[in-house]
Structure 1
Amino acid sequence: MIDPVRDLASVREATDRLLTAAAALDSAALGEPSRLPGWSRGHVLAHLSRNADALVNALEGRPMYVSGDARNADIERDAPRPLDVQLDDVRDSAARYQSVASEESDWSRTVELRNGVKDTTARIPFRRLVELELHHVDLGIGYELEDLPDGFVEREIGFLADRFAGHHDVPTTTVVADDGREWTTGGGAEGTPVAVRGTAADLLGWLCGRRDGSALRITGGSLPQLPPL
């Protein structure tokens, strides 16, 4: 069940966790590559700041970004900043988002996100949590998929399984965690149903494009090729 108030508390905790970890870096480390192709750690932090502002825009009825090009330009502009400036921006933008989201009076209201995607305000805090948790991993500073809160991992696997459900390139796929939790995705492509098994962290890594799936056990066919997020 979606609980936006609980998710906002989780967003605050994830923000604090990321800021504490990033504060141990130095400005030189921000220029080093992150785990995202073409992005430095500075790019990742800049993106998190601008994403918080973009979600404020969405909640207040404005487009998240002026355009895709403007979004990318803002990230490129902000990526080279020194560590203290980056951390202040992540902290301040997060506070702005938290303030606006905490004032929401209608969690059933629909808002428009990027690329015409629409969602209810109740789901926006979890979307922000996903940005924080996965991009903390992307920084490559010791926080791994195995370190993510278990409840978050379960929800994000379910979210991504729903996202790929019925996709025309993905056969019917059963996703099974080693502890017995199970999800179903795909179903839009012809072919024999496939079962994909592994740890929850490895399953999430495959679904969100952070791992290649080589650690997973596949029955019924080959590992499905998932569309980009």
Structure 2
Amino acid sequence: MIDHARDLASVRDATERLLTAVTKMDNASVAEPSRLPGWTRGHVLAHLARNADALVNVLQGRPMYASAQARDADIERDAPRPLDVQLADLRETAAGFQETGAAPADWSRTVALRNGVTDSASRVPFRRWVEVDLHHVDLGIGYELEDLPAEFVEREIDFLTERFGGHEAVPSTSLTSEDGRIWTTGGGAEVDPVTVEGPAAELLGWLSGRRDGSGLTVKGGALPALPPL
């Protein structure tokens, strides 16, 4: 069972890790490329701030973004801002998300996200945790997939393997981490199952499109190509 209050605390911890790291940057490093194609670190920071606002909208029953175009335009507008402005925005929007999350609410209700996706309100704090911690990695400032909390890694692998489960373009695939945890995904293509083994951080990196899978051992065929998230 999802514990939204515990996840809100984890979001707060992840945000503090992010802010502590970003505080050590300077204006020049904010303008440098991130690990996400076409985005500077400023784009990543702007996205994180606007995503906090967007998830407040979700929890309060409003559209997540006015439109896809407005979302992209806001990120482009905010990306070039100096470090102090980025930090102030991150702090303010993170506090707004925590305040909204602390308000009395029916956490079992269904909420609307982007592109017709719906989910339980109780999962929204974990979705924010994903944004904060994975994009912290995307900044390329010393925080790596191996530094992510073990609980986070396991739960995000749970989520991504479920997302690709039954996908017609992904062959049946079994994933095994070094500690013996097993997941299954794919299953759309009628071929012999593929087995993928390796450290949990490498599995997450491959599933999330952040690593090419070269750190994994593949048996029974080639490493499946995953559709974009």
Global fold match (TM > 0.5): yes
* Partner Cα separation in structure 1 for residue 42 and residue 189 of structure 2: 39
Distance, in Å, in 2 between the alignment partners of 1:178 and 1:131 is 25
Matched residue type, 2:173:
T
Alpha-carbon distance between aligned partners in 1 of 2:95 and 2:166, rounded to the nearest angstrom: 37
> 2: CA distance between counterparts of 1:59 and 1:193?
40
- Who is 1:48 aligned against? 48
What is the match of residue 9 of structure 1?
A: 9
Q: How does 1:112-127 map to 2 (within 5 A)?
A: 112-127=112-127
Aligned match of 1:108: 108
Which residue of structure 1 aligns with residue 93 of structure 2? 93
Q: What's 2:26 paired with?
A: 26
Report the secondary structure of 1:47's partner residue. helix
Give unmatched runs, 5+ long, in structure 1: none
Q: Distance in 1 between matches of 2:88 and 2:167?
A: 40
Look up the match of 1:212: 212
CA distance in 2, matches of 1:76, 1:190: 43
Deviations 1:5-28 (A, max 9, x none): 100000000001100000000011
Give the alignment of 1:46-85 within 5 angstroms. 46-85=46-85
Tell me the distance in 2 between the aligned counterparts of 1:20 and 1:112: 32
Tell me, in whole angstroms, the C-alpha distance in 1 between the residues paired with 2:166 and 2:157.
Answer: 16
Letter in 2 for 1:3: D
Count of paired positions: 229
Structure 2, gaps ≥5 residues long: none
Query: What code does the residue aligned with 1:201 have?
Result: A
Q: Distance in 2 between matches of 1:101 and 1:6?
A: 11
Give the secondary-structure state (helix, strand or coil) at the position aligned to 1:114. coil
Could you report, residue by residue, the CA deviation over 1:168-206 in whole angstroms, capped at 9, with x for unpaired residues? 001111010011011011111121100000100000000
Query: In structure 2, what is the Cα distance between the partners aligned to 1:112 and 1:30?
Result: 32
Q: Which amino acid aligns with 1:116?
A: G
User: Under a length normalisation based on structure 2, what TM-score does the superposition of the two structures give?
Assistant: 0.99
| 1:199 counterpart residue number | 199
Helix, strand or coil at the partner of 1:192:
strand
Give the letter aligned to residue 49 of structure 1: A
The sequence identity of aligned pairs, in percent, is 69
Q: CA RMSD in A?
A: 0.6
Question: 1:39 is paired with a residue of what secondary structure?
Answer: coil
Deviation at residue 104 of structure 1 after TM alignment: 4.0
Runs of 4+ aligned structure 1 residues displaced above 2 Å come to none
Q: Which amino acid aligns with 2:146?
A: E
Structure 1 position 57, deviation (Å): 0.7
3-state SS in 2 of match to 1:115: coil
